Chain A
Amino acid sequence: MGASVRPSFSEGLGGEQGWPKALRGRGPQAVSGILTALGRAGLWSPRRQLLLATWQALSRALVTMDAESLLLSLELASGSGQGLSPDRRASLLTSLLLVKRDYRYDRVLFWGRILGLVADYYIAQGLSEDQLAPRKTLYSLNCMEWSLLPPATEEMMAQTSVVKGRFMGDPSHEYEHTELQKINEGGKVFEEEVVVQIKEETRLVSIIDQIDKAVAIIPRGALFKTPFGPIHVNRTFEGLSLSEAKKLSSYFHFREPVQLKNKTLLEKADLDPSLDFMDSLEHDIPKGSWSIQMERGNALVVLRSLLWPGLTFFHAPRTKNCGYIYVGTGEKNIDLPFML
């Protein structure tokens, strides 16, 4: 029973298991109609979905390990109003499994969905053994065929920082950006207007990278560091307790630490080097850029980022269930300080 369902969204088995029991046996039209409308935007209260999903998960817990985790996680995160229609979920389950096999990843996680004007991008990430190693990102337009994205570089980030607005949904779309460039020609310096073409794929890569660096979070204790370097999943992680789950300090940014070195020695003395090797959310600027809520009484804690609206992190205290998903337009909320 020591299997971890931790950062979930992993691949699973066939799609049939994802259909709530209540809708089985009904005609596909009714099912799709109802589930689409409800599941797509979380209309169906997450509590109900959670009850059904948990029941299913428990009843199958001994047989299948992670098959339910993707669906369960999707439902847990749907309180923000973002969901997937049943056929998308079904195709995700199967296609992610294939991706895992083909690319030989240790784990494949469904990262989220970026809404474009014409089409949406579905993003998945593949992990290797070391949890903090850079992940491989894949995208798909139809949840079945996945393409690998190049890793993000500094150049890309600089280039795409000038692009604003929504994503188009077409990976080959090019944004045009005119900028003044100084061109040296024979000693003279000209300033010309150069139109720079930026591909949407590049923008996609850098946005995903930014989001991951900024707001990907993980509860404290879920990972631990070994003296040899690699970071492992902590198999004895039983979930945060309730009092811990409400505090921002029990969640870490899932990235290389930036602020850790700036802590005073006194603070560092209290840390456990094997567990506290990442930045906590407490010191995020601006303060209050996380909305932390308990749902269903105390059974689920949901963190939503206000800096990147659309990122939802959920965790069921005392269990290993946790995960995050981003469904949004892929734009940073720069107005955050005005809005708090």
Chain B
Amino acid sequence: MEDSTSPKREKANQDPREAGQPWEEVTAASSQGLESGLSEPLELEQGLETGPQPRSPPQSPQSRASIPLDDLTGPGASYPPSPPQEASYTPSPPALARQDLAVPWPSDKTTSVNPEAGTPHFHHLEQSSDKGESTASHTFQSEGSTFRQSQQTKHHLYGPEDVNYNNSKQKELRFNIFQDEDSNSNYDLDYAEPGVSELAPSMLEITIQSAKAYLQKTSSKSGLNLYDHLSDMLAKVLDERPENAVDIIESISQDVKMGHFRKKLDTLQNENEMLPTYEIAEKQRALFLQGNLEGADQELEDEILTDTHPIQRCRFWGKILGLEMNYIVAEVEFREGEDEEDVEEEDVTEERDDADSEADEDDEDQLPRTFYKTPQAIPKEENRTGANKYVYFVCNEPGRPWVKLPSVMPAQIVTARKIKKFFTGRLDAPIISYPPFPGNESNYLRAQIARISAGTHVSPLGFYQFGEEEGEEEEEVEGRRDSFEENPDFEGIQVIDLVESLSNWVHHVQHILSQGRCNWFNPIQKSEEEEEEEDEEKEEEKGEEPDYTEQEVGPPLLTPISEDLEIQNIPPWTTRLSSNLIPQYAVAVLRSNLWPGAYAFSNGKKFENFYIGWGHKYSPDNYTPPALPPVYQEYPSGAELTEMDDPTVEEEQAFRAAQEAAVLSAEENEETEEDEEEDDYDQE
């Protein structure tokens, strides 16, 4: 019997399903079907086996053996299916409670709505006391179908009429509002009052149904109806149990409404949004797996870096923040002899005006020769020396490819000192500034990196020592030494000492002269008279300002940083112990005040420098762009060039008069001469 009835029930369920029964209870979050269990279907009228008793279990896969239609004899019947049914459902208390709430109909509220998950059936079995019931239906998200299960704890007294009545009611009240797969909440309230005559409930029920129908009226704009919305909202409130729900009920309402829309777009948007995340994650995972270490990211990235380039030593230099993207910088030293050659773009602009002036010789008025001679571009330092000692690679994010930064030219450093710009994060971005920066962002970045390295790379005293002296010292070189090497005998300095005194730290990167190089380049050797335009001041070092061709010197290598100049009474470095609680394990940390973001730390034996920041120097005063130079005197101004005032009218007249007078007198002279001649003539 069950078998025969189950298919029927299935059909019954299918009908509502297809019709898109609107009043299905939604348990949006959980695909539970539950509450059916609640007011379990102890429908005695099922004994009738008439028609589609829409009490079938929500889950089509599961056989509806649970429907005790046939087995029903009385309330006390135990439901064989109940265990499986229970197992299939996981009624959640809130859902059950929801059901309670959602069923606004009073009075015959049934205790059958039993929040206890475990024993719904049995409770319902006590139908004698059952009054109203709530028919709950489940929705199956997965199936997208909505099952409707009306649970009626009808008294077995009910006759077929009620059944029919119920069914017809259900059919009547079917609306074809098929909303989202999830969200349909509905309560089909059917209740019967035992003992009440069949007519009375119908009156009450009619009013209830009409009220409900009104609530379920679809809004013409959004396709929602109030009934569903209210039940959604209440479901959400019960799920989340926020405090003071009454105060935020409006926002909950809004959220629920928005939730409808979100769901639909979810499948589309999710992919796009998650892709970048997953990509990066994948790449990093690859890096992790390759290294098989638990070390920092940087090491692994550098491993990748080292795989592609012949690198001898590689070090994490730091991170420079930018507007759109950041840069992660690695300092790299190539193996000897395997340098990659840069494209050298030395623009030595000779006096191009010579050519111009030559071309103009044909003109009548020769254009004046200009004095201006472009200062000869100072050639950049060779690789591996001075400012170009290391090569730097940058990447925007770990997992992205490394890009090599070009070597730095002195002119770039000089200009970089004069401007202050944020980095955007794109290496090819132009730098629009005054004075115009020769290059794009990659050059500016490189210049700043060079300045930061020169200014803030320090090491504990004694860590490095000078190598053997290089040959003979030239006259100009004042005992400068370029190379240093690690001191194998370095024993380490106490952390406390490192913190207390700045003289325990020394610079190990050459200082950049105001010329822009580390090693002085004498430009006089190449051309004749030059005009140097080196006017920057150095706040930090004691470099002498060059006077024409004077050599620039900077402090020698391995100078203790206690010699760094202060800025307006601010010491150039701040020292800290990393922890005050455990000083014996603490690390000495040096923070640069000149380049905010530059740190050096050491535990006595090992040390490290790095930088994290925006890439700018600190200055207590505001930045002022350099003033424009005065207009240049380009050429000698001689008499023929000097513009003279136009003669005034009087002057002109006077001049004309004078001229005429001169002409007249000339004519008179001629005339007199002629006269004389005539006279002479005549006289003859």
Contact = CB atoms under 8 A, between A and B. Distances in A.
Interface in A24-38: 28-29, 32-33, 36-38
A224 B585 contact: no
Chain A: interface residue count, which band? 35 or more
B280 to A, nearest CB: 4
Contacts of A81: 319, 321, 597, 612-613
Interface stretch (A40-48, A97-105, A153-161, A207-215): A40-48
B321 A291 contact: yes
Most chain A CB neighbours (cut-off 10 Å) among B275, B294, B580? B580
A144 to B, nearest CB: 9
B340 interface: no
Interface string B590-615: 01010011010101000010101110
B297 A2 contact: no
B614 A335 contact: no
Interface stretch (A130-138, A261-269, A277-285, A298-306): A298-306
Interface stretch (B160-168, B250-258, B496-504, B648-656): B250-258
Most chain B CB neighbours (cut-off 10 Å) among A42, A232, A335, A340? A335
A274 interface: yes
Interface stretch (A85-93, A179-187, A192-200, A249-257): A85-93
Contact of B297 (A28, A45, A293): A45
Interface stretch (A5-13, A55-63, A67-75, A234-242): A234-242
Nearest to A290: B323
B622 interface: yes
A40 B578 contact: yes
Contacts of A288: 323
B369 interface: no
A264 B281 CA distance: 44
B278 interface: yes
B142 interface: no
Contact of A38 (B255, B296, B398, B579): B296
Contacts of B268: none
A304 B579 CA distance: 27
A32 B593 contact: no
Nearest to A22: B294
Interface stretch (B190-198, B478-486, B566-574, B658-666): B566-574
Given A41-B612, A296-B281, A297-B281, A304 B321 contact: yes
Contacts of B324: 291, 293
B585 A28 contact: yes
B212 to A, nearest CB: 28
A28 B281 contact: no
A142 B580 contact: yes
A54 interface: no
Contacts of B276: 294, 297-298
B587 A33 contact: yes
A79 B325 CA distance: 12
Contacts of A339: 420-422, 616, 623
Contacts of B274: 297-298
Most chain A CB neighbours (cut-off 10 Å) among B251, B269, B616? B251
Contacts of B597: 81
A224 B582 contact: no
A115 interface: yes
B470 interface: no
A232 B321 CA distance: 35
A232 B245 CA distance: 12
Most chain B CB neighbours (cut-off 10 Å) among A28, A165, A236? A236
A294 B325 CA distance: 8
B625 interface: yes
Interface in B240-298: 240-243, 247-248, 250-252, 255, 269, 273-281, 284, 294, 296-298
A247 interface: no
B268 to A, nearest CB: 12
B203 to A, nearest CB: 41
Interface string B373-401: 00000000000000000000000011000
A32 B585 contact: yes
B316 interface: yes
B620 interface: yes
B118 interface: no
Interface residues of B, number: 69
Interface string B285-325: 00000000010111000000000000000001001011111
A236 B612 contact: no
A164 B620 CA distance: 7
A94 interface: no
Contacts of B102: none
Nearest to B328: A45
B589 interface: yes
B570 A166 contact: yes
B485 to A, nearest CB: 24
B421 A224 contact: no
B241 A338 contact: no
A45 B585 contact: no
B639 interface: no
Contacts of B294: 22
A45 B421 contact: no
Nearest to A235: B242
A17 interface: no
A172 interface: no
A309 interface: yes
B265 to A, nearest CB: 10
Contact of A41 (B252, B278, B574, B599): B599
B326 interface: yes
A29 to B, nearest CB: 4
B603 A33 contact: yes
Contacts of B591: 115
B593 A117 contact: yes
A91 B612 contact: no
B251 to A, nearest CB: 6
B93 to A, nearest CB: 15
Interface in A215-248: 224, 226, 232, 234-236, 238, 242-243
A80 interface: yes
A76 to B, nearest CB: 15
A286 to B, nearest CB: 12
Interface string A139-152: 00010000000000
Contact of A242 (B273, B279, B323, B582): B273
A91 B581 contact: yes
Interface of A: 1-2, 22, 28-29, 32-33, 36-38, 40-45, 47-48, 79-81, 85-88, 91, 115, 117-118, 142, 164-166, 224, 226, 232, 234-236, 238, 242-243, 274, 288, 291, 293-299, 304, 306, 309, 328-329, 334-335, 338-340
28 contacts: A2-B240, A29-B585, A32-B582, A36-B578, A41-B599, A42-B319, A43-B316, A47-B284, A47-B297, A47-B398, A81-B321, A85-B578, A117-B574, A164-B620, A224-B248, A234-B248, A236-B240, A236-B248, A236-B252, A288-B323, A291-B323, A296-B280, A296-B281, A297-B280, A299-B277, A306-B422, A338-B623, A340-B422
3 closest residue pairs by CB, A with B: A297-B277, A81-B612, A335-B623
